[in-house]
Structure 1
Amino acid sequence: MVAPIIITAAPIMCAFHNVMLPSQNYGTKKSIKQGLGVKRGSCGGLQMKANAQNHNGDDKISKVVSKSSIRQNFTIRSYEVDANGIASVETLMNYFQGSMIYHGKTVGAYNDVAGTTKEMIKRNLVWVYSEMQVLTYRYPKWDDVVEVETWVSTAGMNAVRFNWIMRDFKTNQVLNRASSVSVLMNKLTRKLSKMPEEVRRELESYLVNSRIIIEDDDKKIPKLDDTTADYICTGLKPQWSDIDVNFHVNNAKYVTWILESIPESILMNYELSSMTLKFKRECKIDSKLQSLAEVCSDNNNNNNNNVEYNHMLRFEDGVEILRGRTKWRPKFINNFDFFNHVPEASIKDL
């Protein structure tokens, strides 16, 4: 298999601040499967995280459904939507994380913004995602109010599963479901830890035995390299704003990076319908990364026009950070109608 061609983009100067923004380089194979287009070139830069807070203007702020289930409201703000006027995937990820912390605080399990219990704090333990799945039926738009229901269930001896259902507040329609498996990591050694019995006793009254709201994706996600990837995006580097209170990259940023290797033709004409992430290692402020994507070969015989990609994030030395799979469905409407404007030129032409 022919290795991808790496295209190097020159650094771009910011007009408002005399700051050199990091360049991002893209590569594609000469023969791209299915003719799905060529990855766009764009500049890295400042990232704005989603605002995962309650807003006093909402009709309903939050309510306790049961001892282990909390519902919290979010209003989609203008800075949380993408070019189509709908909430970005990163926004949803931040809502999930925010509601997880709010859930633990409301039921009395957690003591700080990191979602740690008293016994976890004593042992320098924090939660980290080991895997996550998101299934989306419809994306909320700007100014919509969504209600996120959160609960925690068991996931073996040394992990817990956080569960989310997002609904349209006005219609109660289910917009998406998400589920993640989280394990404990020692903040000092940065190594995974078994769950101490003291921590287990703290959590057991808040854990529920519930069915998995998303069936596990048992299909193996292959490890990609320069010869198997259809798209490669290099020059990725965390910004200070990407670092969370555990001093590693916020999980929503991983989604941003894997989407960087998706062709613009897909981003314009398709929407993300599901996502599976398998976290391998944490990423810190001084890391330099590459995002690889492969068009799944079985889509050549796909009759419903859906598109599927395998993903991998890795350090520049080849050590992998994350594997993932994304599935995309065609957009049924032109969401640019939301702005009553069809763009006359692409960003690269400005």
Structure 2
Amino acid sequence: MTSMAASRNLGFQFPWNFSNAKKENMEVLKLRLYSSCNTNMLNNKRRFSLVTANSHSSPQKVDTVNGTKVNGIHVVEAPLSGSKLANESAADAALVTSLRGRFVEGRFVYRQIFAIRSYEIGPDKTATMETLMNFLQETALNHVTSSGIGGDGFGATREMSLRKLIWVVTRIQVQVQRYSKWGDEIEIDTWVDAAGKNGMRRDWIIRDHYTKEIITRATSTWVIMNRETRRLSKIPCEVKQELVPFYLYRIAVASEEKDCEKIDKLTDETAERIRSGMAPRWNDMDANQHVNNVKYIGWILESVPIEVLEDFNMTSMTLEFRRECQQSNLLESITTPTARIIGESNNSINRKPDLQYTHMLRLQDNKSDVVRARTEWHFKSK
């Protein structure tokens, strides 16, 4: 993106007959080249803000990225020259703000924009469920960081960090109306609310950035865990005081569409397909030293029939997290068709699913379930 912007700012202008150019034309050419190069240099200075404490000393590290301190030393942005640069600066600032996210609706809702990249799509050139889950997770973390209450933990508040506490998700439901294509831009809104006495609910809505069509809804419940003992904890009063100002009583998934049904535990007898020998890698671990929640989706799909993956879209997924998974564990993925009659589901956004499946990830050695899941699928329209 930077190289493209730089190319636009060069603005080379040559006479039609360069070989027969007169002296005055050459002078005009030199002036334009000089002016354009200066403009480009100013842009580069403004964008990268490489400032040193002393021009004769060794270079310092970049102190700020889009106005955020990096190594603790304040850096002043290079001055702008001319209204054109000022206009570009405002446009750049607006773009950076939208990409990094911002608060809307009185700081109750946090909004962030994403573009669907080529490495975030599947064989059908649309975003995958894993991509959507990554977007939801990224928006949630940026919400906490931008709120001013973020601590030094991964999504934890300051009071949580002092007490060595972290958030863990226990259940998440995602409903997809349609999947975005490569190059599409989406915007995600997220907000939080209390869930019972010792939980927090986080909801998301994904829209097409330009048409504002709602294409995905998601809801989740979270509890607090001690990161050292790995035991669940009550939410301390100090943590509640941090969260309450951000609570918004609003639901993304309507009550009649929310998947509250128990997800059955699968066994060797009830499973239709079993895939064994899946091992978490180092890169599958997150900052809280357990397997990243999004990684489970790929393992769940390992036991789904290939013809389902090819001919159907997953339109609903509910994940129920039962226990942590460590890097040393081996997993088994189990899938079986749901016994319910097709069309009985309440969480398909008024569309009867063509297929329903129950899934489970379990530890291979002792058969303990790690994640239970339920999915719904619709036939892809040709």
4+ runs of 1 displaced by more than 6 Å?
Answer: 55-59, 300-303
1:57 positional shift: 6.7
For residues 250 and 175 of structure 2, what CA distance do their matches in structure 1 show? 18
Equivalent of 1:131 in 168, 171, 177: 171
1:212 positional shift: 5.2
1:305 positional shift: 6.4
Equivalent of 2:191 in 132, 141, 151: 151
Question: CA separation of 1:304/1:175 partners in 2, compared to 1, >3 Å: closer, same or farther?
Answer: closer
Match of 2:375 in 1: 326
**Conservation of the 8 A alpha-carbon contact between 1:299 and 1:307:** no
Residues 285-330 of structure 1: per-residue CA shift (max 9 Å, x gap): 1111101111113346889661000011110111111111000000
For residues 331 and 159 of structure 1, what CA distance do their matches in structure 2 show? 37
Does 1:174 find its partner at 2:214?
yes
1:214 positional shift: 4.3
Does 1:307 find its partner at 2:355?
yes
Does 1:232 find its partner at 2:232?
no
- Can you give the 5+ residue segments of structure 2 that lack an aligned partner in the other structure? 1-92, 345-350
Match of 2:132 in 1: 92
SS at match of 2:294: helix
Q: Which amino acid aligns with 2:362?
A: R
Equivalent of 2:330 in 288, 294, 298: 288
Match of 2:80 in 1: none
**Conservation of the 8 A alpha-carbon contact between 1:217 and 1:276:** yes
**Conservation of the 8 A alpha-carbon contact between 2:337 and 2:357:** yes
Residues 208-267 of structure 1: per-residue CA shift (max 9 Å, x gap): 222352433132211101110001010111111110000001110111111111100000
Match of 2:3 in 1: none
Q: Which amino acid aligns with 2:363?
A: F
Question: CA separation of 1:301/1:96 partners in 2, compared to 1, >3 Å: closer, same or farther?
Answer: closer
Question: CA separation of 1:204/1:81 partners in 2, compared to 1, >3 Å: closer, same or farther?
Answer: same
SS at match of 1:297: coil
Question: CA separation of 1:217/1:108 partners in 2, compared to 1, >3 Å: closer, same or farther?
Answer: same
TM-score, L = length of structure 2: 0.70
Question: CA separation of 1:112/1:301 partners in 2, compared to 1, >3 Å: closer, same or farther?
Answer: closer
For residues 181 and 320 of structure 2, what CA distance do their matches in structure 1 show? 28
Q: Which amino acid aligns with 2:180?
A: P
Match of 2:285 in 1: 243
For residues 210 and 57 of structure 1, what CA distance do their matches in structure 2 show? 28
Does 1:203 find its partner at 2:238?
no
Residues 69-94 of structure 1: per-residue CA shift (max 9 Å, x gap): 11100111100101110011111101
Q: Which amino acid aligns with 2:369?
A: E
Question: CA separation of 1:275/1:306 partners in 2, compared to 1, >3 Å: closer, same or farther?
Answer: same
Match of 2:103 in 1: 64
**Conservation of the 8 A alpha-carbon contact between 1:130 and 1:181:** yes
SS at match of 1:257: helix
**Conservation of the 8 A alpha-carbon contact between 1:138 and 1:176:** yes
SS at match of 1:265: helix
RCO higher in 1 or 2 (8 Å CA, sep ≥ 6)? 1
Of Structure 1 and Structure 2, which has the larger fraction of its residues in helix?
2
Q: Which has the larger radius of gyration?
A: 2
- Can you give the 5+ residue segments of structure 1 that lack an aligned partner in the other structure? 1-54, 334-350
For residues 331 and 187 of structure 1, what CA distance do their matches in structure 2 show? 43
1:129 positional shift: 0.4
1:284 positional shift: 1.2
**Conservation of the 8 A alpha-carbon contact between 2:152 and 2:158:** no
Q: Which amino acid aligns with 1:242?
A: D
TM-score, L = length of structure 1: 0.76
For residues 58 and 197 of structure 1, what CA distance do their matches in structure 2 show? 36
Of Structure 1 and Structure 2, which has the larger fraction of its residues in strand?
1
**Conservation of the 8 A alpha-carbon contact between 2:201 and 2:219:** yes
The 5 A counterparts of 1:7-156 are 60-61=98-99, 62-65=101-104, 66-112=106-152, 114-156=154-196
Q: Aligned residues: percent identity?
A: 40
For residues 218 and 343 of structure 2, what CA distance do their matches in structure 1 show? 28
**Conservation of the 8 A alpha-carbon contact between 1:58 and 1:75:** no
